Amino acid sequence: MIKNVYLCSLYNVVVYLHLIIIKVGQLQERYKSYREPQKFMEAGVYPYFRAITSKQGTEVEMAGQKVLMFGSNAYTGLTGDERIINAAKEALDKYGSGCAGSRFLNGTLDLHVQLEKELAEFEGKEDCLCFSTGFSVNAGVLAVVVGRGDYIICDDRDHASIVDGRRLSFAKQLHYKHNDMEDLENILKTLPKEAVKLIVVDGVFSMEGDLCKLPEIVELKHKYNCSIMVDEAHGVGVFGREGRGVCDHFGLTDEVDLIMGTFSKSLASIGGFIAGDADTINFIRHTCRTYIFSASDTPAATAAAMEALHILKSEPERLEALWKVTKYALRRFREEGFEIGDTESPIIPLYVHDIDKTFLVTKMAFDAGVFINPVIPPACAPQDTLVRFALMASHTEEQVERGVQALTKIFKELEIIK
């Protein structure tokens, strides 16, 4: 009897271990050949996950060295602002470190409600919802606002979060060539007039820095009975009155049905928002899974975003400084013969057209004390690799000049420019 029990449990252990080995083995088997990152590590040019040991400003500290930061999305230059840091600290003291639940149940603070009210007003919409990231706004909102029998039409360079939101929706998914209004119209022509058709577009394209053709898209909206959602992740704090974004810049806020934004760039925090008419927002508030089934943004993050919004509204000189330094950088890169595409924003793409050279430029720039980001597929087409040089309102012309000169030397050495 004792022997039987012993054998039985031994058998169970063997089966259990066997299962573990098979399970772990399957994944290990599949991923042991994934060695792309290692190739670049071995070549000494791997450009990701580089640790910063200071605040995110125009200069950051990395491995004990000061590096000029041109890889940030902090266009307003507010991430180290003492007023924002103090607002976050006060919220931390008053409300604690987290909300321990979703907005739907126990995670709503008066701070969230106030920020939503202020953002709705800022964006010229009836209502607004705050999410814990910008990604979860796009992923969640697109999944619910259009469904079976509807159509969702995107620019083929829209952000990954729009692509993922589109995939989560049961609507028919279509996309048009980047900023090609003829292609968009050719698609719209084929769709039923009465069906719900949502055009979703980045206001500012995050890698190339060009703007969507909103006036033309609005014309097509009327011609083919569509709705429009604009992602203002890179528009807020950069374009429009007091940095309201690209919709405001074009004077077309009322024509855009939904405006999405994030706190992770100009608003010096983390989180995101969707603004629109009261009925659509009411529907999203009660159905959107990334809103209902995910914890709300932290008190500190919410307070920081709100303080950044107040500063944005009260300090127009910040926007002026951003545009002054942006114009300077655009002019200097053009003078030096860089290919910078159609950018019209503080995001300046410096085209390399070669993945290996893109990594090499990033590494050589870093060694010269300049932080820039490499952009390779899937963030761009394989033939369009680039390094992304982005400005903040707090950059000085002297800092930009140092960046331009370092990059000119590297691009010439690698024969990317003459």
Among positions 373-402, residues that touch ligand PLP (CB under 6 A) are none
Q: Taking CB under 6 A as the rule, does residue 79 contact ligand PLP?
A: no
Residues 6+ apart with CB under 8 A from 248: 124, 239, 240, 241
Q: Retrieve residue 390's tokens.
A: 């982005």
Residue 144 near residue 283 (C-beta atoms within 8 A): yes
Cβ at position 58, least distance to ligand PLP in Å: 20
CA-nearest of 17, 35, 258 to 128 is 258
84: left (phi over 0), alpha (psi -120 to 50) or beta: alpha
Q: Quick one: which segment of 16-24, 96-104, 226-234, 312-320 binds ligand PLP (CB under 6 A)? A: 226-234
What are the two backbone dihedrals, phi and then psi, of residue 63, each rounded to the nearest 5 degrees?
50, 45
Q: Taking CB under 6 A as the rule, does residue 134 contact ligand PLP?
A: yes
Among positions 265-284, residues that touch ligand PLP (CB under 6 A) are 272
Cβ at position 230, least distance to ligand PLP in Å: 10
Q: Quick one: which segment of 45-53, 97-105, 227-235, 339-347 binds ligand PLP (CB under 6 A)? A: 227-235
CA-nearest of 146, 116, 275 to 203 is 275
Q: Quick one: which segment of 80-88, 189-197, 230-238, 326-334 binds ligand PLP (CB under 6 A)? A: 230-238
Q: Quick one: which segment of 52-60, 82-90, 131-139, 241-249 binds ligand PLP (CB under 6 A)? A: 131-139
Q: Bridge partners of 259?
A: 230, 275
Residue at shortest CB range from ligand PLP: 134
Query: What is the maximum alpha-carbon separation in the chain?
Result: 90
Q: Retrieve residue 214's tokens.
A: 């909103």
CA–CA gap between residue 123 and residue 237 (Å, rounded) = 12
Cβ at position 170, least distance to ligand PLP in Å: 22
Q: 122, 135, 359, 411: which one contacts ligand PLP (CB under 6 A)?
A: 135
CA-nearest of 255, 265, 195, 267 to 228 is 255
Nearer to ligand PLP, 375 or 393 (CB): 375
Environment class of 140 (CB within 10 Å of its CB; exposed 0-12, middle 13-18, buried 19+)? buried
Cβ at position 176, least distance to ligand PLP in Å: 17
Q: Taking CB under 6 A as the rule, does residue 159 contact ligand PLP?
A: yes
Cβ at position 206, least distance to ligand PLP in Å: 4
CA–CA gap between residue 267 and residue 290 (Å, rounded) = 21
The DSSP 8-state label assigned to residue 200 in this structure reads E
Q: Retrieve residue 110's tokens.
A: 């008066």
Q: What track of x and - describes contact with ligand PLP for positions 175 through 214 (by CB under 6 A)?
A: ---------------------------x---x--------
Cβ at position 281, least distance to ligand PLP in Å: 19
Residues of this chain that bind ligand PLP (CB under 6 A): 133-135, 138, 159, 161, 202, 206, 231, 233-234, 262, 264, 272
